[in-house]
Structure 1
Amino acid sequence: MTRLGSSDLSVFPLSLGGNVFGWTADRDASFAVLDAFVAGGGNFIDTADVYSAWVPGNSGGESEAIIGEWLASRRPEGLVVATKVSQHPQFRGLSAANVRRAAEASLGRLGVDAIDLYYAHFDDETVPLEETVAAFGDLVADGLVRNIAVSNYSAERIREWIRIARSTGAAVPVAVQPHYNLVHRNDVEQSIIPVAREFGLGLVPYYALASGFLTGKYRSTDMAGQNSPRAAGAAKYATAHGLRIIDALEEVGDAHGVSITATALAWLRAQPAVVAPIASARTAEQVPDLLAGGRLELADDEVERLRSVSEWTPAQV
């Protein structure tokens, strides 16, 4: 287990992504994934109130509802659940009133007394940051939320949030959730990691496996005929450069007897300020590779090799 930023949360260094629950994993498959994750030593689950409103017939909150039903059925101890606000169709934005209503709705779906980690999912510059900071602080003061965090915020806005919180006595973020992986590095390494290290924030990167590309499933530059949601996201990385990264991951992983998936997650964990990459699983059979990625310790030369082979990645990818 490892400490999440300046919080008192002790988490397994791999967070199970709940974005697939109610989307590509139905209730029973989601229960099986959650069971396998906890049985294997995992205790950190990430979701959002908007998951998965994009699916026909869904309205948002499906992932939270499935997790809540599973929590009520299993009653696991020591579990850390993170969720987010700002994108649910009924609770868009970060006004104080909306943040409060969304948090209460998430609490109801999850069936918990308090949210362990509550993220501002995306910045909302239509609302004064002072209002949003105060709203999150009030949730902590009132016991609805234990810790707060930000996701998809620029370094400048993170700094401003912390400045306002410190000056007003509101709760200060303990974590930041950026898009970060071996094929999407530059912006995070240049701006987010420095601010995270300065303020003691734990990084919990999403898209840790680049929409599945870093599992090694996509080994060709010809992605024609790949029509699944994951394939569409992975297609842009299936270049000659990207495939060299996969080859290097495979060689490093083979030396440890682990998969490309586990090796990609281990590399991410080795980066400054990273506490727990987020990765999802549609089936219980996919969970062991994720858990292995939370345990594998790469040698310095292996981390450097993967860093070097992936340096080509442009910041906008």
Structure 2
Amino acid sequence: MPASRDSPDVEATNALQLFARWLPVELSIERVAELYGRQSDWWRPEYLYLVLLMRFARRLAMQEKTDGFFPTLLRTGYVVGPRKSFEKTFSLSIEADRETLGTLFNLEEWRLNAAEGISLLGNIGSTWPTSTGTPLRFSTDSVYVDLESCLVLLDLYSDFGQEQRDGPIVNVRARHFEETIQSIIDISPWAPTKSLAEMRGRTLRHSRISITDIDAIGESSDTLLLVSAKSHPFTWEYARGGYGAVRNIETNTKKAVAEWTDLVGRISARPRGDNFDFSAYSKFVGVVVLPFAPYLSNPAEIADAARGLPAACSLAELEYWLLSPQNPESN
């Protein structure tokens, strides 16, 4: 059943109940910019034009003279405006956002314009993998701004820094993924004690030699769970099945599993080190976790880390395993 909201466009004496399929929410562009450390290349033109278009659509929907637009937005997910004046009004909206977005996007010079944006957004999207089409559609007299399409495309174009191997963007993404994994473990039966939780992120040492650090950690009875997080982004090229993208993820995953299995084996053989003591545990489970399940041409090459848990798995697979009835501590 669609959500119900009182329409803001009618007086209280003539209250109207409006059934809505879409409800507007606020998105903080400031937080996105902060996440990427205000680097000059953190955004792509498509992303910026989508933000500008969504801000324009909000202004269009809230104009006093467009009384029917807000209910239309709630029911259909798009707003409608006159085609004849669209480019001019879009230009005025861009101008109104010049100072705010110019700072957030580190624009040294304002080279963007409505005509360029309309052209770019008119050819946006992907046929494979399938994605929503252009958020701008025109009829003889009107222009339709599809905000659902804007939101989907905004998500697709939020893969900043996907080709970077190191640097601030990769570090932020990696840290966020590690914290996400740990937060899932923390609300499961495998939640670590306070003292064990302090081991996360610490560089473990044997005989003054650094061996590794733990991205996420958990425990269940006499079993210690050690997680290595690999925050590889799920890119369009990977979704298309591009040979290079798929091969690189598979190669890196196999390498990560081999290295992590060896490290966990060494810790199991010598559970007490310079700055850690895992001697209370008799079983050690080491797993490599990705945001998505990686394609493996021969899955049998990678053994399970534990019953029902692949040595390389997605975050969703790990979460399912943590709560699985096959684990005595999960009941």
- Specify the TM-score bucket, using the shorter chain as the normaliser: under 0.3
* Larger-Rg structure: 2
Bigger proportion of residues as strand: 2
Q: TM-score, normalised by structure 1?
A: 0.22
